[in-house]
Amino acid sequence: MITAVTSADTPTVRDRLLAAGLSAERIEEHLLAARIMLDGEPVTDLDQPAPAGSRLVLAHR
């Protein structure tokens, strides 16, 4: 049986960065400096979905 993935099952950018060990304060700093990229696009909302298989990068600028 195949189960549909719901949005509640999909981690957000924030979830994935917290799981990687970044503090909430550090995540906010990276967001404000426009250093967070999801699949090559800048992140402006930490609560946007970031499903498994997507590429999440902290860019150095």
What averages of pLDDT result for each successive group of 10 residues across the chain (61 residues)?
60 97 97 97 97 93 64
pLDDT of residue 19: 96
14 located within any domain: yes
Give the C-alpha separation, 3 to 24, whole Å: 32
pLDDT of residue 44: 97
44 located within any domain: yes
Domain that holds residue 33: 7-58
Task: Give the full edge-to-edge strand order of the sheet including 41-42.
Answer: 41-42, 36-38, 56-58
Q: Token digits for 9? A: 């099952």
2 located within any domain: no
pLDDT of residue 61: 64
1 located within any domain: no
Per the structure, how many domains does the chain have? 1
41 located within any domain: yes
